[in-house]
Amino acid sequence: MNEKDIAGDLEEILVTAEDMDKRLDEIAGEIDAYYQGEQVLMIGVLRGSLMIMADLSRKLSTPVAMDWMALSSYGSGTQSSGVVRILKDLTEDIKVRHVLIVEDIIDSGLTLSWLVANLETREPASIKIVTAVRKSEAVCRMNVNADWVAFDLPDAFLVGYGLDYNEKYRNLPFICTLAEHVYTS
Ligand code: 5GP
Ligand code: MG
C-alpha cells in the first residue's frame, strides 16, 4: 500500500519510508554497540510492532531471538487506563536473558510501564526498550524510559508502519496523519 492508494484519506506524511530506514540503521548500530554480541530476546508487542520488528531485526548484527505478546488495555475510548490484560503471553522463558521490548508507539506510556513491571517479575538479566514513535506528550508523563526512539512526533493520531485505525493503514510504509473525514464518515 502506498500514497496513491490512500490519496483521499491522507493528511500529512510525518515519517517517510526512507526516513525510517535511515533512522533504523543508526539505532541498529547503537544497539549492536550496546549488547557487544550478547544474545538478545526481542519481544514485540502485537500487533503494531511487526514492522519495526521486521526492519530493525534485519539490520542487527546482534544474535536475536524473537517472541511476541498481545496486550489489551482497559480504558474508555482512546484513553489508556493502565489496567492491562495479557491476551497472548510469551512462549519463551525470559529468566536471566537480555530482553529488548519492541514497541510501535508510546503514547501515555501506561501500557509499557505495566509491561516492564510484569516482565521484571520473571527475572530477566536486563530490559531495554526500543520504539518507532514516541508522542511528545509522553516524554514528560512517562515513568518508564525508552532507550531507543526512532522518532519523537507531535500528539496527533498516527497511522502507518504498523499503526492502524480500525485495523486499516497498518501496511503503509510511512507514518502519516489522516484527513478529518476519515474519522467522521
Ligand atoms: P499507551 O502508551 O497510552 O499506554 O498506549 C499505547 C498504545 O495506544 C499503542 O500501542 C497503540 O496501540 C495505541 N496508540 C497510541 N497512540 C496512537 C496513535 O497515534 N495511533 C495509533 N494507531 N495507535 C496509537
Ligand atoms: Mg503497542
Q: Profile the chain (185 residues) by mean pLDDT over runs of 10 residues.
A: 92 98 98 97 97 98 98 68 88 98 93 94 98 79 84 95 96 97 90
- Residue 78 has a pLDDT of 58
Ligand 1 proximity of 105 Cβ (cutoff 6 Å): yes
Ligand 1 proximity of 131 Cβ (cutoff 6 Å): no
Distance CA 85, CA 89 (A): 10
- Residue 9 has a pLDDT of 95
Nearest residue by C-alpha to atom 16 in ligand 1: 107
Of 32, 55, 107, 155, catalytic: 107
Ligand 1 proximity of 151 Cβ (cutoff 6 Å): no
- Count of C-beta atoms within a 10 Å radius of residue 92: 15
- Decide if 107 is catalytic: yes
What separation in Å is there between the alpha carbon of 150 and the centre of ligand 2? 15
What separation in Å is there between the alpha carbon of 22 and the centre of ligand 2? 22
Of the residues 9, 14, 69, 107, which should be mutated to test ligand 1's pocket, given the most ligand atoms within 8 Å of the CB? 107
* Sheet architecture: strand order including 98-106: 83-88, 64-74, 40-46, 98-106, 126-135, 148-153
- Residue 108 has a pLDDT of 85
Domains and CATH numbers, the chain: 17-32+39-74+81-152 (3.40.50.2020)
φ, ψ (nearest 5 deg) of residue 181:
-60, -25
Nearest residue by C-alpha to atom 23 in ligand 1: 163
- Residue 136 has a pLDDT of 76
pTM for this entry? 0.94
- For ion ligand 2, residues whose CB falls within 5 Å: 45, 48, 104
- Residue 164 has a pLDDT of 95
What separation in Å is there between the alpha carbon of 152 and the centre of ligand 1? 14
Distance CA 163, CA 34 (A): 28
| CB 135, CB 149: distance < 8 Å | no
